[in-house]
Chains A and B, each alone.
Chain A
Amino acid sequence: MTEIRIDPPAHAAWTLVFASWLVAAVATLGALFFGEVMKVPTCSLCWYQRIFMFPLVFILPFGLFPFDAKVARAALPLAAVGWLIASWHVLLVAGVIPETATPCTQGVPCSETYIRWFGFVTIPLLAWLAFSFIIALLAAAHFKASKR
């Protein structure tokens, strides 16, 4: 075997960045499935979350080959903004924030829910979870890599 020896913290950090890429890829394909296959209407808040989720699928691999934990510097701001929008959307769906306070003026109201698995899992909640995981994984990767 001619495997290049990577020291354990870096290896762990690689796995964390890879896991965050997996989450972003699943979220992206999931969003496309909801929108393009199941034809769930995409409201404006959903579009903004897509804007911050989809690029992660392409940006994160730059930090994987060759491994460079600094990719978190590019990916974290995107994930953070996406997380904020998703949080807003979750609160909106829950009824905590009134619809009039949102940027949705025409078309699909963002407070409308088309999917509710087990009575509480909505698409905005899935997006929020995905952004949360990505942030946690990238932060952990950054921490692991800097400890080297």
Chain B
Amino acid sequence: MKQKTLFIASAVVLLAAFVVGVWVYNIQQADRTAEVVKRNPQALTRLHSPTLGNADAKVHIVEFLDPACGTCAQFSPFVKDLMAANPGRIRLTVRYAPLHQGSEQVVKVLEAARKQGKFWQALEALFATQRQWVRNHVAHAQLAWNSLAGLGLDLDRVRADMNAPEVTRIVEQDIADTRTLNVTQTPEFFVNGRAMPSFGAEQLKDLVDEEIAKGYR
């Protein structure tokens, strides 16, 4: 009987230690991220990044995304809903974290589409058709062209622009910033410089609500 008690008590202690460990680790990690953002504010926002929404909004969401990331595609409408629910109060900036193999090329396509004023349309179209051009977690830019048909883009110009040196510079800067800010998974959101305590749509909404309450009381 005592052996059974010992066994069950051990199992409970181990599981409890694990849960406490997760909790402590997440808190430490959030503190560390806040510290890194504080020390490198320029790594969070660059003037070259695509931005949506009111420039004077008091809540600024910086989203690190990868066009080949499925969760980023799922979060895209959620972020738009958040912005629609708080008109004029949220500004969104997109940064690139091309973590998937081949994603860098697709990011360059997006930047080239941006030169024709079609960044957000192109991003939405790529998200909607991910299944066609992401195979086994590898992004294939050459399969993504179909997704862009119908947006009214001059695709020849996109092909030329995507290899422009300034596009390369933007992508390289964004990748360097993901390293500085330790962005290892996408999407990663920073709301007025604050990271989510743990990943999830609810956590993002809570963070946005807190910042809105602070900015617009």
A residues near B, CB below 8 A? 3, 14, 18, 21-22, 25-26, 29, 32-33, 37-39, 61, 64-65
Given the known interface contacts A33-B22, A39-B184, the answer about A18 and B3 at a Cβ–Cβ threshold of 8 Å is: yes
Chain B contacts for A39, CB-based, 8 A: 184-185
Is B201 in the interface zone, CB < 8 Å from A?
no
Instruction: State whether A29 touches B18 (Cβ < 8 A).
Output: yes
How many A-B contacts if CB must be within 8 Å?
36
Which size class do B's interface residues fall under?
A: 10 to 19
Closest to A28 in B: B14
Closest to A106 in B: B101
Given the known interface contacts A29-B14, A33-B18, the answer about A38 and B25 at a Cβ–Cβ threshold of 8 Å is: yes
Min CB distance B30 to A, Å, is: 13
Chain A contacts for B17, CB-based, 8 A: 29
CB < 8 Å: which of B4, B11, B26 contacts A25?
B11
Please encode chain B, from 181 to 207, with 1 for each CB lying within 8 Å of some chain A CB and 0 for all others: 000110000000000000000000000
Cα-based distance from A25 to B11 in the complex (angstroms): 8
CB < 8 Å: which of A3, A18, A26, A33 contacts B6?
A18
Instruction: State whether A22 touches B4 (Cβ < 8 A).
Output: no
Please encode chain B, from 1 to 30, with 1 for each CB lying within 8 Å of some chain A CB and 0 for all others: 111101100110011011001100110000
Q: Which of B2, B14, B15 has the most CB of A within 10 A?
A: B14
Given the known interface contacts A3-B1, A37-B22, A38-B25, the answer about A18 and B11 at a Cβ–Cβ threshold of 8 Å is: no
Min CB distance B101 to A, Å, is: 9
Given the known interface contacts A38-B25, A39-B185, the answer about A64 and B14 at a Cβ–Cβ threshold of 8 Å is: no
